[in-house]
Structure 1
Amino acid sequence: MLIRHDPHNELACQKRDELAPLLGDDLPADLCLVLGGDGFMLRTIHELGEHHTYLGVNCGRLGFLLNAMDETDSLLLRLRDQAQWHILQAQRLAAEVTDPEGRVTSDLALNDLYVERASGQTAHLRVSLNGQVVVKRLVCDGLIAATALGSTAYATAAGGVACHPSLPMLQLVAINPHIPRLRPIALPLDARVDVEVLDAKRRPARVVCDGRDLGAATRITVLGGQRPVRLAWLAGHDPTSTLIKKLLHA
């Protein structure tokens, strides 16, 4: 198994030092124990891919992707009680991003990806779903594509719906839409979304994928239901309660 901790997080460093000598061969070989916050969890998954089962321990704030912090002894007991683990097969979004020079970049998002204006001008976007143009010209600050797991982040802040992480869906949320007043849309997980940046020279836009800046873009293709990641939650973890807590304290 692997232990990854956020070196910039004092609590994560402390817990790593306490736990590392106590963890033995009774835990799964593919387990990656992640100590940090949600952002560090996303970076770890991006780095290591879908070849591990990720069990996060919250050393940050809410920690929507993570298990609650416990005293070391209690945490060890819960870690060793594998029969009570709940494994979520968290689907990701696959993105292909074409830049102004025609170069194509591929990436994956566990939470969300979005295209946003990169100048003082509004973005003008043409949006297609499953090959059919649904909005010829969306005048807005940007457009978010989020998984159910990522729906409680930027998507909710922009007016989308917070969803239970087990739902097989993809959510589209316009950021400050002007014309038309596009409402959030929930789509099947296997949906394909194509976004074309109109007037890209005068109205440039960039793409951000799970917090990673992919730079300027003229065309973006998003496919849901790609290369799932296994997330492990310990006994007593209740995603519904965590969801409600996040909404009430947002």
Structure 2
Amino acid sequence: MVISYLSYVYLCCNLLFCVEPVSVAFSLSDMQIASFLFYQEKMNVLVEPEVHDIFARIPGFGFVQTFYSQDTSDLHERVDFVACLGGDGVILHASNLFRDAVPPVVSFNLGSLGFLTSHTFEDYRQDLRQIIHGNSTLDGVYITLRMRLRCEIFRNGNAMPGKIFDVMNEIVVDRGSNPYLSKIECYEHDRLITKVQGDGVIVATPTGSTAYSTAAGGSMVHPNVPCMLFTPICPHSLSFRPVILPDSARLELKVRSRRMHEAMHGVSFDGKRRQQLSRGDSVRISMSQHPLPTVNKSDQTGDWFHSLVRCLNWNERLDQKPFEASK
């Protein structure tokens, strides 16, 4: 069953405010939202430590709080919802902060593309109040439960300590700077299903289906569809087409090159946290038990099709004009 509405049965009072983590200079937009949440909505505003250092130097923003970034295991218990200001990268960064349960995330678009950021900055007061106090026309607001993948790196059959990653878009195993073709064995529930020879392979969520996977020829999938996308990158065989697997699939991607100098591969998680893979190393992939809930502007399907048209110009074409006889 898909949960469609979000409403709080208790007083919503703690918010995590996420902005571009590499940003050094704050914009007026960041300060406007923080001030609105604290002074008008009486919310406790938390930010990451490096962002807190910047706020601390601005007069009038001593109310902004932070947390210990080395241990975020209980962060979901301290935060009622997350507000992201920026592009899609900020949402991916927010997802990375929560390994287990994730609070609802509302995102305001200030980026260059913003496929996932369905809310505009101009409406931030209205949209935030609907989440905090409830929508006057509904029992709550629409949300989309976005599937995440749990990924773990193994070496010599043993799990590597600290090498567990939760991804919202995709995991990519590729040949990196290696000039030779990737040679990756792909297993599903310990059964060999295929061998990848090419530049690499993408395993994407429905949310990530409109990112790297689409560029590599994969389908675009609605985020409510429970599945994984298995998309080869520039495969050596023209018959190797992308496929869609059920969310119950348990995949393992294993590096199996014969020569040591051909075996150096890389794996990245949502385009970051890149790790090196050697011959015999593998990555095990399964559906995470903790999806990421995002707050919709209208509803799940309406927001998705709006983003397809707005960001990707999906099926956009000029209408044929009626012929008018010359006078």
TM-score (norm 1): 0.88
**Contact 1:146–1:171 under 8 Å retained in 2:** yes
Shift of 1:181: 3.3
Q: Deviations over 1:63-83 (max 9, x none)?
A: 122123242xx3211221233
Whole-angstrom distance in 1 between the partners of 2:141 and 2:238:
45
The residue aligned with 1:213 is 273
The residue aligned with 1:97 is 153
- Match of 1:241, SS? helix
Query: Aligned match of 1:75 in 117, 124, 127?
Result: 124
- Match of 1:125, SS? strand
Whole-angstrom distance in 2 between the partners of 1:69 and 1:246:
14
- From the superposition, tell whether residues 168 and 225 of structure 1 become closer, same or farther in structure 2 (CA, over 3 Å): farther
1:162-181 map, 5 Å? 162-179=220-237, 181=239
Shift of 1:60: 0.3
Q: Are residue 245 (structure 1) and residue 310 (structure 2) matched?
A: yes
Shift of 1:149: 0.4
**Contact 1:189–1:225 under 8 Å retained in 2:** no
- Counting aligned pairs with the same residue, the percent is 26
Unaligned stretches of 5+ residues in structure 1:
none
- From the superposition, tell whether residues 92 and 238 of structure 1 become closer, same or farther in structure 2 (CA, over 3 Å): same
- From the superposition, tell whether residues 87 and 216 of structure 1 become closer, same or farther in structure 2 (CA, over 3 Å): same
Q: Deviations over 1:158-192 (max 9, x none)?
A: 01011112211100000000037311110111211
Larger Rg: 2
- Match of 1:80, SS? helix
The residue aligned with 1:184 is 242
Query: Aligned match of 1:226 in 274, 281, 289?
Result: 289
Query: Aligned match of 2:144 in 70, 75, 88?
Result: 88
Unaligned stretches of 5+ residues in structure 2:
1-14, 45-77, 316-327
- From the superposition, tell whether residues 57 and 127 of structure 1 become closer, same or farther in structure 2 (CA, over 3 Å): same
Shift of 1:214: 3.3
**Contact 1:100–1:216 under 8 Å retained in 2:** no
Whole-angstrom distance in 1 between the partners of 2:220 and 2:93:
22
- Match of 1:191, SS? coil
Whole-angstrom distance in 2 between the partners of 1:100 and 1:206:
17
Whole-angstrom distance in 1 between the partners of 2:120 and 2:17:
16
Aligned residue identity for 2:311 = K
TM-score (norm 2): 0.68
- From the superposition, tell whether residues 101 and 91 of structure 1 become closer, same or farther in structure 2 (CA, over 3 Å): closer
Aligned residue identity for 2:105 = Y
Query: Aligned match of 2:108 in 51, 57, 62?
Result: 57
The residue aligned with 1:131 is 190
**Contact 2:152–2:159 under 8 Å retained in 1:** no
Whole-angstrom distance in 2 between the partners of 1:89 and 1:12:
30
Q: Deviations over 1:132-156 (max 9, x none)?
A: 2111x32110000000001000000
Shift of 1:21: 1.5
The residue aligned with 2:218 is 160
Whole-angstrom distance in 2 between the partners of 1:7 and 1:125:
34
Greater RCO (CA < 8 Å, at least 6 residues apart): 1
- Match of 1:2, SS? strand
Q: Are residue 111 (structure 1) and residue 169 (structure 2) matched?
A: yes
Whole-angstrom distance in 2 between the partners of 1:7 and 1:205:
28
Structural RMSD (CA): 2.7
- Match of 2:89, SS? helix
Shift of 1:36: 1.2
Aligned residue identity for 1:3 = F
**Contact 2:116–2:307 under 8 Å retained in 1:** no
Q: Deviations over 1:7-58 (max 9, x none)?
A: 6559973211112121214799511111111112211220244342211111
